[in-house]
Amino acid sequence: MQQPELLDAAVVRAWVSTAARALAEARAEIDRVNVFPVADGDTGTNMYLTIRDAAAAVRAAPADAGGARLLRLAARAALLGARGNSGVILSEWWRGLTVAATRGDSLAIALDVAARTARHAVAHPAPGTILTAAESAAAAARHVEAGGMVGPPGAPARLSTTDAACRGAREAALRSVGALEPLRAAGVLDAGACGLVLVLRSLAAAQRAASARDVEGVSEADGSIGPVLLDIDLRGHAAPVAGAAEGDGASSPEEGAATGGVLDAGRHEHDHGGVATDDVELMFVLERSASAEDFSPGAVADALRADLDDVGSSVVVVGGGAEGGTDDADRSLWQAHVHTADLDAALGVARRWAARGAVSRVSVRHLAVPPDRWAVVVTTAAPALAAELARGGAVVVLNLDVPPTADDLAAAALGAGAPHVLVLAPEALQGESSGPTPVDGPDAAPEVVRVVAPGDVHLVAGTSALAATLDDPREQDAGVPAAVGAVVAGLRVDGGPAATAGAVVARLVAGGPAAIVTLLPDDDVPDATVEELATRAAALSDGADVVVMRTGRPGDHVAIGVEPLVDEGTA
């Protein structure tokens, strides 16, 4: 029986819904084996959240939408909602698949286009990753489509194209432990490769359900789909057998023979090196007119990728024209991702591209500070504060070019990776997200508590208060929002031109004993003026700590905040 191709709307609807549920079920297990490119334990969550956005967009589509439109909607939502290195790569894989499928290519060719598109998006591809799994899936699919067999010797039945792709991705995932030193040392399989196995298995399940519908009259393509599970032991793997080539060795001689010789993709890959513990992750969306003449859509990604490669590692730039990401023929979208120890330089790249388009959804997080029970999401218009906030443990939504929205903060909260999230932002951004409704199945939505914080000083002090609260074992989950809210509410905040800032400092300090005085001068305020203000604040506040941080934005204003001294006996 011939299985439905990707342009079957019922297959697309069932596929994204099933994939979201499968990744939701497996995300914690996948997170636990995430050791490359940095062991931040979020690959499963990032892949789930990326597909979750795609599934929600498909669910919100009109009932009569065709398969091609559904694929495009899913691709655009995945692009805009992609989280982390793995999520961004997965979104580009989906976009390549969409481009090929909507122009009428066969499934095997579409998988090949998806694999090559994803690989091209990564500045320095590494072996044994999701990229290798995608290439191995495409190679197995092409082999079957050309009339070959896939399976152990003596098995006469030829697999379907999708089942062959699943087999190819699975074998690549099993071999991944021998491809990279971090995987060998931990004895684990690559997290991203295992996530892609689930995505492909979900497609196979959706196609089988649609075939059953056609033959047996099943009314809903996904009505007969059971759970799609990852039947792979992700941990407890030894190094490859002696003599196996790095990045190419099978887990055993039998596994290598079972592939029929079609799983040799990826030998040309190379490692891009480790990630420094001081690195932060920067992500942003670039939107441009498709008719802009300075760069073609294809050249934009290459140029942006090269710019980011100069300032960091783990560089991925995905997206492009309307053919794979949006129904608007005059809009092109890209999602950029980089790990960097020099956030200012990386933001400089984003600013330069903002002059050629519009940069939005700018987010920064620290790679070495994984959240525990609580995560913090903050927003600021001061670029220089972003690194400080991120290194303090916050996920920062930065107003660099296009102001963030409530949806942007909601997405940051969803992707923060903790069961409880505290959002510190101005009241205008504290509304509920207007995004699509969640998909069925296990949901990663955390408890979100919002604290109104109308200025940059609130963000700095509020984040410090949260860190102090979490360090105090007496405080339980219920006490965190109240403690931070009390600190933020007690702050005395104002600001103005540097010429009048001294008087503002005096007025704020006169309001009561101060524990911390924070000065946030814009970049055009002279150093001598800043030093004079700090000296004045120290003299007036009778021993309070004076903290000075440049905002990183042009201007001659100084924001000033005073955190009152709390009597330990009444705290």
Q: What is the pLDDT of residues 347-389, one digit of tens each?
A: 999 999 999 889 999 999 988 766 667 888 999 989 988 888 8
Q: Do the beta carbons of residue 184 and residue 211 sit within 8 Å?
A: no
- Give the whole-angstrom CA distance, residue 433 versus residue 408: 8
* CATH architecture classification, 371-486: 3-Layer(aba) Sandwich (3.40)
Where does 9-258 sit in CATH, by number?
1.25.40.340
Average pLDDT over residues 470-491: 70
Q: What is the pLDDT of residues 49-66, one digit of tens each?
A: 899 999 999 999 999 999
- Looking at residues 402-418, what average pLDDT do you find? 85
Backbone angles phi, psi at 568, to 5 degrees: -55, -30
Domain 492-564: top CATH class: alpha beta
Query: Distance (Å, rounded) from C-alpha 430 to C-alpha 499?
Result: 33
Q: Give me the sheet containing 420-425, strands edge to edge.
A: 313-320, 331-340, 280-289, 358-366, 394-398, 374-380, 420-425, 447-452
C-alpha span between 264 and 287 (Å, rounded): 37
- Report whether pLDDT(557) > 80: yes
Looking at the chain, which residues constitute the CATH 1.25.40.340 domain(s)?
Answer: 9-258
CATH of span 280-356: 3.30.70
Tokens describing residue 397: 């939504």
**What is the arrangement of strands in the sheet containing 492-497, beginning at the earlier edge strand?**
492-497, 557-564, 514-521, 545-548
Q: Which residues in the chain are classed under CATH 3.40.50?
A: 371-486
| Contacting residues for 293 by C-beta, under 8 A, at least 6 apart | none
pLDDT band at 6 (very low <50, low <70, confident <90, very high): confident
**Which residue has tokens 């996904």?**
222
The ranges of the chain annotated as CATH 3.30.70 are 280-356
Residue 233 pLDDT: 73
Residue 450, CA atoms < 13 Å, CB-side half-sphere: 16
Return residue ranges of the chain for CATH 3.30.1330.20.
492-564
Q: Nearest 5°: phi and psi at 536?
A: -65, -40
Is the alpha carbon torsion for 427, 50, 304, 194 positive or negative? positive
Helix (H, G, I), strand (E, B) or coil at 248: coil
Lowest mean pLDDT across 246-250, 311-315, 453-457, 532-536: 246-250
Mean pLDDT computed over 530-543: 92
Q: Give the list of residues 6+ apart from residue 376 with CB closer than 8 angstroms, or none.
A: 393, 394, 395, 416, 421, 422, 423, 424, 463, 466
- The tokens for 320 are 């492009």
